[in-house]
A and B are shown apart, each in its own frame.
Chain A
Amino acid sequence: MREVAIIGVGLTKFGELWDKSFRQLITEAGTKAILDAGIRGSEIDALYVGSMSPGRFIGQEHVGALVADSSGLTVMHIPATRIESACASGGMALRHAYIAVAAGIHDIVIVGGVEKMTDVVGSEATNILAMAADQEWEAFFGVTFPALYAMIARRHMYEYGTTREQLAMVAVKNHENALLNPNAQFHRKITVEDVINSPPVATPLNLLDCSPISDGAAALVLCPLEKAKEYTDKIVKIAGSGQATDSLALHGREDICTFMSTVRASREAYKQAGIQPKDVDVAEVHDCFTIAEILAIEDLGFVKKGEGGKAVEEGLTARDGEIPVNPSGGLKAKGHPVGATGVAQVAEIVLQLRGEAEKRQIPDARIGLAHNIGGSGASCTVHILEAV
């Protein structure tokens, strides 16, 4: 198996981008990544794109070919594959592109992630996101996607004494981090009181506990590590990659407060990278809801099960904390165009490891981790990156 490097990243702004179409967004991100890598279009061997539900959001399936076409790559007839794994579609696209390069099937591969969510009204977007849940045995009974995470939060509070304030502190931290990210959807400082007083969505979660509906795209360029020197001096390699699944429905699990998919995918990635959780200098984790970040830092092994709320309160995950989590603002404040999210997380880690994260730079970051979840934890990817 060959080692694989990431030599280019590209991001669009995230937000309600009414003037930008699906194809404009992914073309913009892809073009930026290609320019960043300094490759020529003719060198591209394959394209993988993560997108959760273009069929429902914009009435368009077959987006592997569409993305190749709109980025001007069809004249070369390169293979283009769309990958779907709900909100983990982006991380999954990277995972499969990584496997293709590591296996020696392709050399230069573009990984894209994109979602155009604001062409439908908000309530329809909520319905589409709920499709990641079990349709027959959860959604049929009126369960929404926030409701599943709300039930996790309720049980976490019951078992471990996690407080309403601690949940709010995740949102406060991520909104503060997003102030320094020019691509973020929100540039608005919020307080614990703002979160607690925002309208209830599914108790105990309120509006400000939830990530927003967003448009956006992100892209990466992968190549074999041995070739990376030809393109860049600031080489970042994929040191570990893990992927795992769990029951589709929340009720199918013995422990509602643990995402075994995160545990399994991260242990696989740590083992491959030869590191421990404490070696991670910076992490982008899947905070689709505030409780999700608390679960993530526990299941990734940054803190013990049940201590996630306290860790956030004590500032362990702040920008100047022991393990800075979501310096980009996370899904909560940077925005969550679902298919783009997993790719954008990795783009942020690459920038951090290159020392190019501008005002939000974590000093001396050498090892970074990106954690992407699909649905209520039924699928997960974890990638560990290392500055070479």
Chain B
Amino acid sequence: MGGEAVSRFWREIPQRYNLIGTKCKVCNRIYFPQREVCPFCRRKSIGKMEEVKLSGRGKIVTYTIIHVPPKKFEGQAPYAVAVVELEEGVRVTSQIVDCNLDKIKIGMEVEATFRRIQDDGWTGAIYYGYKFRPVEKHEDKK
């Protein structure tokens, strides 16, 4: 991704900054990223999808340590990415940070934290979003 208009990133800000998903008011299923239509209720859900803020707490379903990164992440490697299942039952993908890479495990409890994700060298823009960190370590700090 290089040289895109900033609007591409700006329009995803509510979701990426605040983990705002959608809830289908017909079946109460929660989605992230946001959906216009519930795949289960389809036409019945039109106009009945409401925004919902996710807790950001969840568990690691699976993870990997990336040693060969994409160009924009070259300075960060090796880094961990994971699929995290949030308390609300939805799954998201992002990086695991603030943690020794050897300590990461399936089932580990994590929480969302707001971080810099990548820079666009072309526009000079910096893009932010959620990453996850272990819950324990955060509590140790208090």
> Which A residues contact B (CB, under 8 angstroms)?
123-124, 126-127, 130, 135-144, 146-147, 150-152, 154-155, 158, 199-205, 249-252, 256
Known: A140-B117, A144-B69. A158 touches B93 (CB 8 A): no
Q: Contacts A158-B62, A158-B106, A256-B61: A137 and B93 contacting too (C-beta < 8 A)?
A: yes
Q: Are B67 and A141 in contact (CB under 8 A)?
A: no
Interface assignment of B71: CB less than 8 Å from any CB of chain A: yes
Complex CA gap A127/B62 in Å reads 22
**What's the nearest-Cβ distance from chain B to residue A120, in Å?**
12
Further contacts, 8 of them, CB under 8 A, given A123-B70, A147-B64 = A127-B70, A139-B1, A140-B16, A141-B95, A143-B81, A202-B68, A204-B64, A249-B93
Residue numbers in A under 8 Å from B73 (CB-CB)? 142
Q: Are A154 and B67 in contact (CB under 8 A)?
A: no
Contact check, A144 vs B68: say whether CB atoms are below 8 A apart. yes
Bound: A281/B70 CA distance, A: 40
How many pairs of A and B residues are in contact by the CB < 8 Å rule?
A: 98
Q: Which residues of A contact B81 (CB under 8 A)?
A: 141-143, 147, 151
**Which residue of A is nearest B31, CB measured?**
A252
Complex contact A251–B93 (CB within 8 A): yes
State whether A138 and B93 are in contact (beta carbons under 8 Å apart), knowing that A203-B64, A250-B83 are contacts in the complex.
yes
Judging by beta carbons under 8 Å apart, are A256 and B70 in contact? no
A200 with B71: in contact, given A137-B33, A250-B93, A256-B83 (CB under 8 Å)? no
Tell me the minimal C-beta distance from A255 to chain B in angstroms: 10
Is B18 located at the chain interface by the 8 A CB criterion?
Answer: no
Q: Can you give 17 contacting A-B residue pairs, CB < 8 Å? A: A127-B71, A130-B70, A141-B93, A142-B79, A142-B118, A143-B66, A147-B64, A151-B63, A151-B64, A151-B82, A151-B83, A200-B78, A201-B66, A202-B67, A203-B64, A203-B65, A250-B93
List the A residue with the shortest CB-CB distance to B12: A136
Q: Which residue of B lies closest to A201 (CB)?
A: B68
State whether A142 touches B66 (Cβ < 8 A): yes
Give the docked Cα–Cα distance between A143 and B137 (Å): 24
Residues of A within 8 A of B64 (CB): 147, 150-151, 154, 202-205
Q: Which of A126, A137, A151, A202 contacts B92 (CB 8 A)?
A: A137
Q: Tell me whether chain B's interface is mostly helix, strand or loop, or mixed.
A: strand
Asked, given contacts A140-B117, A147-B66, A202-B65, whether A252 binds B91 with beta carbons under 8 Å apart, the answer is yes
Cross-chain contact A136 with B62 (CB below 8 angstroms): no
Query: Shortest distance in angstroms between B19's beta carbon and chain A's nearest beta carbon?
Result: 12
CB closest residue in chain A, given B107: A158
- Closest Cβ neighbor of B81 among chain A residues: A143
Q: CB-CB contacts of B127-140 with A at 8 A, as 1s and 0s? A: 10101000000000
Q: How far is the CA of A250 from the CA of B94 in the complex (A)?
A: 12
Nearest CB of chain A from residue B82's CB, rounded to whole Å: 7
Q: A137: which B residues are within 8 A, CB to CB?
A: 33, 92-93
Interchain CB contact under 8 A, A200 and B65: yes
B95: which A residues are within 8 A, CB to CB? 141-142
- B63 contact set on A, CB distance < 8 A: 151, 154
Chain A residues within an 8 Å CB radius of B61:
155, 251, 256
Bound Cα distance A205, B68 (Å): 11
* A155 B66 Cβ-Cβ under 8 A: no
Cβ 8 A contact of A155, one of B1, B62, B68, B127? B62
B76 within 8 A of A: yes
Bound complex: CA A155 to CA B66 (Å): 16
Do the beta carbons of A154 and B62 come within 8 Å of each other?
yes
The answer to whether residues A142 and B69 also contact, given A151-B63, A202-B64, A256-B61 and a CB cut-off of 8 A, is yes
Q: How far is the CB of A273 from chain B (nearest CB, A)?
A: 30
Interfacial chain B residues near A144, Cβ < 8 Å: 66, 68-70
